[in-house]
Chain A
Amino acid sequence: MMRFSTLMKHPADWMTGTDADSAIVLTSRIRLARNIAGAPFPGWARKEERVAILPTLREQVEAIPEMKDAFSHQLNELSSIQKQVLVERHLISREQAARGEGSATVVNRNQTLSVMINEEDHLRLQSIRSGLHLREAYELIAKLDSELEKVLPYAFDHELGYLTACPTNVGTGLRASAMLHLPGLVISDHIGQVIQAVAKLGLAVRGIFGEGTESLGHLFQISNQSTLGESEDDIISRLERVIQRVREQERSARIKLIEDDPQMIADKISRAFGLLRYAYVIDSKEALTHLSLIRLGSDMGCFPRDSIKLCDSLLMDIEPAHLQHRAERKLSPEERDTMRAEIIRSRLQNLPSPVINFITDRSSSSNTPPDSPPQT
């Protein structure tokens, strides 16, 4: 069985932005909710019932070839920092981290597939890919799903499809989502319109860190809400079209910022560089905001292209549980801020000063109407 330390030492490809296309869409994620017919859902079941059903589910999940030598633990076997690390890596949910005996998590060796057992549903199967590859992620998880349906009696209804603890997931049980980096739309103040337009299409947009449109790190997640009345393919196609549209809008927002106000952008990126390179105490909010600008700068040619990867691994490594796991003890917020600054300084040590090649002459700023909202 894979050990926690192995999991920590080898971050998955999707966590470090190896996809050439991940400048705007960092990751694509698919989740399937599945339940066992006749057994009470985990939230309604008594603890003994959860404990009783767990070994069967876990055995079948571990037996799938894709899950060979997986990281597999009951939640009560993990420390609170370890659980939190898994949350920060998007391998388990916050709800699952709050659970103990009778619930388990199984993660494959390259951390692309994870199965939560006895979370809200008996099984939550998840697959993550870097970049915009929802369909690929779905195919991987569908394979796992069809292996499991051979050996587990799934709760399925001819009218309502896969039955889930919460009626919001019934039908396909599928939640598809993508994580997007949208600094262009935030800085140019068009993010509100984009969020509204996406919401009108029945999709959900939320900040990854923080709340609402003032998302820290300019990171957003777009996902489907409806799971019934549409096929898996329709859900994914619809979401993919909208995400492509948002990506185009972010692209043009970035171009427009350079055209309209190159000084402002150059100033933001260069200050972010200076600040992160020389800070000794930095909180999460400040770090995320400035790393986002380094990430934007890498895409605009101010830093070597692969600095995007550097930013993406830093985004995860400076999160509270990752810091405490590294320190091998609980840290006070002040201690975390110091350690965060230290890690950032050392990782950015070899990052060359920003090259600003988009300022040629003094440009006048003009106000033009925003791009039209996304359409399907």
Chain B
Amino acid sequence: MQCDHCDNKATVFYTQIIDGISKKASLCEPCANKQGVTDPDGFLLGKDTPALGKPSAPKSIPQLETSMGKESTRCCPGCGFAFHDLKKTGRLGCSQCYEFFRKEIKNNLGGMHKGTSHTGRVPEGMLKAFEQRQHLEQLQLGINEAIDSEDYEKAAALRDQISKFSADTPEQPEHPDQP
């Protein structure tokens, strides 16, 4: 494996998990020293983009970046797959990657398929949950439309339907915004 910052072979592998968000870095020894990875108190991977390699980033000082850059090196908590690996391999790491990188994957689906959501067969054991979820999503969509057209009565009626539906089923939907 290659170092994230230069062409050398990576020999230092750093994994950081904060609040359940895991990030990985593969570095060669010189880059690792330069970035302060070898100093256990001094190194922290950025929240979404690495603080690494940024000339302005002072050494050994924790950096928290908030921008959702395309160079995101978030790794799937299930298998350690980073989204940019998809460009190299054309394959994802595990089924959890779809959950973790949902946004990125959906952005990349454009034009590949006829649609963006599944309308085919559902495994028998998951059929009920699948239908419930689809039903709720449809109601929610109806509420959004009703609000857009300022039909608050309809929106309220739909909201009541959702409350009733979710009272009968274990899955709790997100509550709609009040009109």
Contact = CB atoms under 8 A, between A and B. Distances in A.
Interface of A: 35-41, 43-44, 120, 142, 145-146, 149-150, 154-163, 165-168, 170-172, 174, 202, 225-232, 234
A158 B133 contact: yes
B120 interface: yes
Given A229-B113, A229-B114, A172 B91 contact: no
Contacts of B116: 228-229
A161 B118 contact: yes
A168 B95 CA distance: 14
Nearest to A171: B118
B124 A156 contact: no
Interface residues of B, number: 37
A227 B117 contact: no
28 contacts: A38-B94, A40-B78, A41-B93, A41-B94, A43-B91, A44-B79, A44-B89, A44-B93, A44-B94, A149-B123, A155-B98, A156-B123, A157-B98, A158-B129, A159-B117, A159-B118, A160-B105, A161-B118, A163-B98, A167-B105, A171-B118, A226-B112, A228-B118, A229-B113, A230-B115, A230-B120, A231-B121, A232-B120
B108 A167 contact: yes
Interface of B: 78-79, 81, 86, 89-96, 98-99, 102, 105, 108-109, 112-126, 129-130, 133-134
A153 B90 CA distance: 24
B99 A157 contact: yes
Nearest to B125: A149
A171 B105 CA distance: 13
B146 to A, nearest CB: 23
Contacts of A142: 121
A228 B93 contact: no
Interface of B is mostly: loop
B120 A41 contact: no
Contacts of B118: 157-162, 171-172, 228-229
A112 B70 CA distance: 46
B115 A43 contact: no
A165 B96 contact: no
Nearest 3 Cβ contacts at the A-B interface: A229-B115, A161-B118, A155-B95
A81 B62 CA distance: 57
Nearest to B109: A167
A236 to B, nearest CB: 11
A248 B91 CA distance: 38
Nearest to A120: B91
Nearest to B90: A166
Contacts of B78: 38, 40
Given A158-B133, A172-B120, A226 B95 contact: no
Contacts of A234: 119
A142 B91 CA distance: 25
B114 A40 contact: no
Contact of A38 (B95, B120, B122, B133): B95
Nearest to A163: B95
Contacts of A150: 124-125
A258 to B, nearest CB: 39
A191 to B, nearest CB: 26
Given A167-B108, A229-B115, A156 B122 contact: yes
B62 to A, nearest CB: 30
Interface centre among A36, A142, A167 (most CB of B within 10 A): A167
Given A154-B123, A157-B98, A172-B118, 16 more contacts: A36-B95, A38-B78, A39-B94, A40-B94, A43-B89, A44-B94, A156-B123, A157-B95, A160-B117, A163-B98, A167-B108, A172-B120, A228-B112, A228-B117, A229-B114, A230-B114
